[in-house]
Amino acid sequence: MEVASSPHHKRARVAIDIGSTIVKLATLDEHGRIESQQLFPRDFEAGIARQVEGLLHERGVPPESDDILVCSSANGGLRVGIVCLSTQYSGAALRNQVLLAGANPVFVHGFEEARGSLSYVDMLLVGGGIDCGDATPLQSRLLRFDPGVYRYGSLVYAGNAHLAPMFQERFPAAAVVPNPLHDGLAGRRLSVFEAVRGAYLNDLIYKEGVTELRSNLATGIRPTPEIVSQGFRRALANSSRLRISGPCIVLDIGGATTDLHYSIEVVRDDSEQRPSPGVSVGRFVFTDLGIVASRDSLLLQLRNHPRLYDFLRVTTPDTVRESYSALRDSDHVPSASLLAYACLFIALDRFAEGRGPGLPTGDLDRVAQLILTGGAAQPMQEPVVQRLFGLFASASGALSEVAIDRRYELWIEGITWDGKATL
């Protein structure tokens, strides 16, 4: 990746990313440039607070300092299910705010198909319609709606405000947040974003012990996917050291999920799913593609993929037949690097075909730049990545650069940007 001149930052800072298995710590100079960066295995006996504060003390940084920036990708992200009046309008608005907040939409159901799901979600988000008094279509659907067919942790209503009292009377434990569509399709842009982000932090606090951190660290913690998305948007806005050379996709490959960030120019003109009007980037999370927590689902898909031989011909050209035979054996577990390539391969395949709830269809021939980031991407090699990409794009495509973000520049650019999050 080409690095442009550095924007001015007032003071030196320390950035920390608390993952499920790794803590990443970077020291930055007063211009926001990386001075040093280290990875540490999570110390589960010590706990988050003691480990993080110990790392800060070793570097002479007071834990109470305001110059510490913290994010977390622990738990693989908050899982959210959406039930809505229209998947094209209210569903798209709710999904976009969930994604912006760094959480993972597991499904988007219209009320007519709200027959339940086997997947557990941390939050079941119900919404639809604008804030108007005549809400008969939504009201009749809400009266028939039964959240008991879903498996969820908390129930949240974010639909027509005039129907909120009725919903809360039926489901007293439900929380109510402002309708993101308000009285028009533009509406309140960040109402659900704030609610989901707050729930994400509660999820971290109760499951990962973040509450033990000093208040200045715990209250300022943000989801890592939100940070990476912000770094990408910053680069596209030309306010970053990173240069985006044209239509671009970013794949953040981790232990539990693979996140796709894309500029809207790469979406096919005939795609059924479209990003919301006015957005410059989109995000989609593949919750079943990861090299550790999602390894079993990843391997199952890879072993049964119709283009498995093509994949191995690119990734293991000298041992294709042996690798093919070994992968067909259900007891064989390939290397971490091969699993990372598998995440890339399957994610690109799904994006090219639009296979996923809310996932647009991408035209990979339009992609000029492909950036890989995340811990699992570090051992990958650019020539292999380019050849894998070539399985889904023509030789005359626009791709001019493949870059692996080995210094986590996107993370740094996102966590140090003081611009407000926008859709």
Q: Give the pLDDT confidence score for residue 204 in this predicted structure.
A: 60
The answer as to whether 415 is a domain residue is no
Q: Is the pLDDT of residue 420 over 60?
A: no
The answer as to whether 238 is a domain residue is no
On whether both 178 and 209 belong to a single domain, the answer is: no
Helix (H) or strand (E) holding 28: strand 22-28
On whether both 195 and 207 belong to a single domain, the answer is: no
The answer as to whether 228 is a domain residue is no
On whether both 279 and 385 belong to a single domain, the answer is: yes
CB 17 within 8 A of CB 73: yes
Q: How far apart are CA 248 and CA 281, in angstroms?
A: 9
Beta bridge partners of 14: 27, 68
Q: Is the pLDDT of residue 5 over 60?
A: no
On whether both 64 and 213 belong to a single domain, the answer is: yes
Strands (E), 162-278: 175-176, 222-223, 248-253, 258-263
Q: Give the pLDDT confidence score for residue 49 in this predicted structure.
A: 85
The amino acid at residue 168 is Q
Instruction: Report the side by side order of strands in the sheet with 281-286.
Output: 281-286, 258-263, 248-253, 369-373, 401-404
3-state secondary structure of 55: helix
Q: Give the pLDDT confidence score for residue 368 in this predicted structure.
A: 96
The answer as to whether 106 is a domain residue is yes
CB 392 within 8 A of CB 209: no
On whether both 350 and 255 belong to a single domain, the answer is: yes
Plot region of 374 (φ>0 → left; ψ -120 to 50 → alpha; else → beta): left
CB 22 within 8 A of CB 40: yes
Q: Give the pLDDT confidence score for residue 189 in this predicted structure.
A: 53
CB 256 within 8 A of CB 22: no
On whether both 159 and 211 belong to a single domain, the answer is: no
The answer as to whether 405 is a domain residue is no
pLDDT band at 350 (very low <50, low <70, confident <90, very high): very high
Q: If you write DSSP's letter for every residue of 108-166 in order, what string do you get?
A: EEEGGG-S--SSEEEEEEEE-S-S-S--HHHHHHHHH--GGGSEEEEEEE-S-GGGHHH
On whether both 185 and 258 belong to a single domain, the answer is: no
How many structural domains does the chain have?
3
Output helix, strand, coil percentages for the chain, rounded to the nearest 5.
40, 20, 40
The residue count for the chain: 423
Instruction: Report, as an integer, the average pLDDT of 236-247.
Output: 86
Q: How far apart are CA 168 and CA 276, in angstroms?
A: 29
Q: How far apart are CA 96 and CA 113, in angstroms?
A: 20
On whether both 159 and 88 belong to a single domain, the answer is: yes
pLDDT tens readout for residues 39-53: 898 888 888 888 999
Q: Specify the CATH number for the domain of residue 64.
A: 3.30.420.300
Q: Is the pLDDT of residue 6 over 70?
A: no
Residues of the chain with pLDDT > 70, as a percent, come to 88
The answer as to whether 307 is a domain residue is yes
Q: Is the pLDDT of residue 3 over 60?
A: no
The answer as to whether 418 is a domain residue is no
On whether both 138 and 218 belong to a single domain, the answer is: no
Q: Is the pLDDT of residue 2 over 90?
A: no
Cα–Cα distances (Å) from 2 to 143, 234, 248, 262, in that order, read 55, 14, 14, 18
CB 413 within 8 A of CB 31: no
On whether both 53 and 146 belong to a single domain, the answer is: no
pLDDT band at 89 (very low <50, low <70, confident <90, very high): confident
Q: How far apart are CA 117 and CA 81, in angstroms?
A: 9
Q: Give the pLDDT confidence score for residue 404 in this predicted structure.
A: 96
Please enumerate in sequence order all residues whose Cβ is within 8 A of that of 288, keeping only pairs 6 or more positions apart, or say none: 294, 297, 298, 301
Q: How far apart are CA 331 and CA 219, in angstroms?
A: 44
On whether both 139 and 279 belong to a single domain, the answer is: no
Give the range of the structural domain holding residue 168, as residue numbers without chain letter.
78-200
The answer as to whether 125 is a domain residue is yes
On whether both 190 and 118 belong to a single domain, the answer is: yes
pLDDT band at 18 (very low <50, low <70, confident <90, very high): confident
Q: Specify the CATH number for the domain of residue 177.
A: 3.40.50
Helix (H) or strand (E) holding 327: helix 320-328
